[in-house]
Structure 1
Amino acid sequence: MKSSLYLIIFLLCFHTYADSLKEQIESRKSQSKSKTPAEIKKIMQKATEELKASGIEEKALGVGRKVPDFKIGEKPIKSFYEKGVTVVTFYRGGWCPYCMLQLKEFERLYSDFKKDGITLIALAPDTAKEIKKTKRNHKLSFPIFSDSNNEIASQFGLAFQLPADLQKVYQKFGIDLKASQGNSENRLPMPGTYIIDKEGNIRYAFAKADYTLRAEPRDVLKRAQSIQR
């Protein structure tokens, strides 16, 4: 009986880990789709379409560009990438379920990043206090830093202003950006993931206006490993 129970648990765990991030996101979208009122879905869809139409994806830093000169904590980004390939991923906040799915997938692979000497860093506009809570609640061990006022995201061309009607939707969902970010700007980063080589060149870039489209962490790992070698 015990052996059968262990087998079931193993298979369930294996299935969870075998699912790609895309599959996990699609599952999440299916669950939320039936619960979200049509009026709210329309507002959210409109906001995504307008953001894409603004050209933000094309304006964001891409492959072949030099990474901006900025500090993470008290250290310049240069101090990270000069030691080896560095992955920087931007997420919207601890309140975003799609962001959490991606961060958890990065966490699952974090030992592989470390083993190959690849630095993994996440940035969010949340306050340091909020980030600490996110790390604790979701058992995340890799470095996550506060990008206060979206300063770094702005340098990457990722930051944007939330439309007024979408702000109201977020408030209905109980998302308090003023509290989580410590400001009243109502700005977010477009989720983006970058691989930076030892010379500070961007070798991989993924940033989409549709926040449900994300870089696949296991693909990011493979790409980073190939560059590191």
Structure 2
Amino acid sequence: MTHSAIKAGSLFPSTVVTGVEGEAVDISQISENADWRMVIVYRGKHCPLCTKYLNLLETYKERFAKNGVEIVAVSADSKEQLEIHLPALEISFPIYHGLSIEQMKALGVYISDPRSEKETDHAFAEPGLFVINEKGKVQLLDISNGPFSRPDLAVLAGGLEFIKAPENDYPIRGTHQ
């Protein structure tokens, strides 16, 4: 398998997925309530570590929001799988479903097949985190090939506060050609 990650500094691709109410949403678009967006790609309802991470992320939501960073989450789960998962999620940020294999490839996340029908019934994305700046560019990203490696949210929140502080004039890193 070849793997190609999205590049730091590139435009985050238009990625239309489906909301809980059935609405089509482009997760690349930052709302009027923020100037940056954090997109969390999670494995799906079958992953207890994803549930734990999303619930922990909720406890940082206000800190990110005070810094102008909104949060959204998305998986390849079906509408039914997301609806079953919702009661275990203690989150108030938007969550979406229906991420396709083509979209996963465009984002550069790792894709796994289920180990058995007990896990899930479809290929799914491994964890990915993308921070999109006000220009629609990928300012920061983290992808993993398994659920055991994810960014520390306290470090991430502090890092974004540093990056966004005008006096730091912090560039997008990792763009050397």
- The 1:110–1:222 alpha-carbon spacing in structure 2 relative to 1, beyond 3 Å, is same
Q: Percent identity?
A: 19
Could you tell me how far apart the structure 1 residues matched to 2:83 and 2:68 are? 24
User: If each structure's helix is expressed as a fraction of its own residues, which one has the higher value?
Assistant: 1
User: If each structure's strand is expressed as a fraction of its own residues, which one has the higher value?
Assistant: 2
Kindly tell me the number of residue pairs found equivalent between the two proteins: 159
Per the TM alignment, residue 81 of structure 1 is displaced from its structure 2 partner at its CA by 6.5
Query: Residue 106 in 1 paired to residue 57 in 2?
Result: yes
Q: Point out where structure 2 has 5 or more consecutive residues left out of the alignment.
A: 19-23, 166-177
Structure 2 partner of 1:84: 35
DSSP-derived class of the 1:109 partner:
helix
Query: Residue 60 in 1 paired to residue 11 in 2?
Result: no
Q: What residue identity is the alignment partner of 1:170?
A: S
Alpha-carbon RMSD: 2.3
Query: Which protein is bigger by CA-based radius of gyration?
Result: 1
Q: What is the correspondence of 1:47-196 to structure 2 with a 5 Å cutoff?
A: 54=1, 56=3, 59-73=4-18, 74-80=24-30, 83-162=34-113, 167=114, 169-171=115-117, 174-175=118-119, 177-178=120-121, 186-196=122-132
- The 1:219–1:113 alpha-carbon spacing in structure 2 relative to 1, beyond 3 Å, is same
Runs of 4+ with >6 A deviation = none
The answer to whether the 8 A contact 1:150-1:159 is kept is no
The partner residue of 1:213 within 149, 152, 157 is: 149
What's the TM-score once normalised by structure 2's chain length? 0.76
Could you tell me how far apart the structure 2 residues matched to 1:187 and 1:78 are? 22
Per the TM alignment, residue 93 of structure 1 is displaced from its structure 2 partner at its CA by 0.6
- The 1:142–1:151 alpha-carbon spacing in structure 2 relative to 1, beyond 3 Å, is farther
The answer to whether the 8 A contact 1:106-1:217 is kept is yes
Q: What residue identity is the alignment partner of 1:131?
A: L
Q: What residue identity is the alignment partner of 1:195?
A: V
Could you tell me how far apart the structure 1 residues matched to 2:161 and 2:48 are? 28
The answer to whether the 8 A contact 1:104-1:138 is kept is yes
The partner residue of 1:223 within 152, 155, 159 is: 159
What's the TM-score once normalised by structure 1's chain length? 0.61
Q: What residue identity is the alignment partner of 1:76?
A: D
Per the TM alignment, residue 223 of structure 1 is displaced from its structure 2 partner at its CA by 2.8
